Amino acid sequence: MRLGRRPLFFLGVSITFLALLVPTPEEFRRVNLVMAGLAAFWFVLLAIEEVSGRGGGTDEGGRA
Amino acid sequence: MSLAVVLIIAVALSFDFFNGFHDAANSIATVVSTRVLTPRQAVAWAAIFNFVAFLIFGTHVAKTIASDVVNSDLLTNAVIFSGLLGAIAWDVLTWYVGLPTSSSHALVGGLAGAAVAKSGWAALIGSGFQKIAVFIVMSPLIGLLLAFTIMTGIYWAFHKYRKVDKLNRGFRRGQLLSAAAFSLGHGGNDAQKTMGVIAVLLFVNGHLAKAADGTIPIPLWIVLSAHTAIGLGTLFGGWRIVHTMGSRITKLQPAGGMAAETAAAITLFFATYSGVPVSTTHTITGAIVGVGTTQRLSAVRWGVASRVVWAWVLTIPGAFLISYFAYLPFRALS
């Protein structure tokens, strides 16, 4: 079983927010945590979607 | 007020005017490309909200620029002038080669370069730079995540709705609000950077004193003139650029445009209230990438995204170097 690029992209975004925790000033660290959590949520959801065979994204939507 | 001070204020306001001139396209391109408004109506809409932003946001970002980037006690008229010169030169250079750089980061890099040329590295305030540097990376990513979340929420909420025309009409109306919100965020964050420069200039020349908390207060006339300059820049420049922007980069459906603008506006509101100078261009680019990601990764124009990454890397050092060398003749004269 191999995960597609989209879930891994959001995993990467989540890791980036966590990696930025150290240089982020203390008063903004909760932003990193909330965003890392949101990205991790999308990673899990998109991974489940792909594993369950419903993945691949939609063809309609935001861009023309 | 001396002639030199008046001239430097004029240069700072020109910088603000050109900021509005170029960045207006970010907030109106989607409204124009989806034919919600004509280009002229759209720039007027954006300019109004650029201006009224002064009623909503405080002056936290202006205080960050005035007090947290460079030690204001070491600044002189020549340093501020060289800093502005470096920022403007960098903006013009990168506009010519088509690199989507941030005027805000150019301003920070420019002030830093001229200050270091005068007083060495001790002139810089590390904590202020750290905050700005972290948000250079974080603001597009926040925009991306919020846009993806909003767009997915729209799919979930309306995927069974069959009256597509009625739905699109609703999103078109929604785009009026989201474009207004983005213009508010743009006016709020970007105009304040110029306010910070003018305030520190007046402090250096003894026209303003520091408050008890060590920050430089921003008088109302500075607030109004900065918002007027950015609003006029939007009014005069936006409609010329929007024809290219609307079709080349941000060809979105009404729902996608609304999601991207709303996400970028939320990011800018947060940054502005928190006193963090961020790039409006990078934030909206991140949000558009977020909307594209709801389809598939290949739907995103990664070429544009990678140019933004280069802009991250190059802007502060580039403006820093130009301002550093722009200050050297003043150092030789003193």
pLDDT digits (tens, 9 = 90+) for B119-170: 888 888 888 888 888 998 899 999 999 999 999 999 898 888 878 788 888 8
| pLDDT for residue B266 | 95
Residue A17 lies in a domain: yes
Asked whether the predicted pLDDT for residue A20 surpasses 70, the reply is yes
Mutate to test the interface with A, among B32, B125, B142 (most CBs of A within 10 A): B142
Q: B294 and A59 in contact by Cβ < 8 A?
A: no
Query: Any CB–CB contact under 8 A between A53 and chain B?
Result: no
A64, part of any domain: no
Q: What is the pLDDT of residues B218-246, one digit of tens each?
A: 888 998 898 888 888 888 865 555 544 44
Closest CB to A38: pick one of B130, B149, B259: B149
Judged against a pLDDT cut of 70, whether residue A57 lies above it is answered with no
Tally helices (H) and strands (E) across chain A. 2, 0
Residue B244: is it exposed, middle or buried by C-beta count within 10 angstroms (0-12/13-18/19+)?
exposed
Whether B264 contacts B275, CB under 8 Å = no
Which of A14-28, B9-23, B185-199, B285-299 has the lowest average pLDDT?
Answer: B285-299
Paired strand residues for A63: B252
Tokens of B285: 């680019």
Domain that holds residue A14: 5-51
Which residue in B130, B145, B274 is closest to A35 by CB distance?
Answer: B145
Q: For residue A54, give the DSSP letter.
A: -
Domain for residue A20, yes or no? yes
ipTM over 0.95: no
Q: How many domains does chain A have?
A: 1
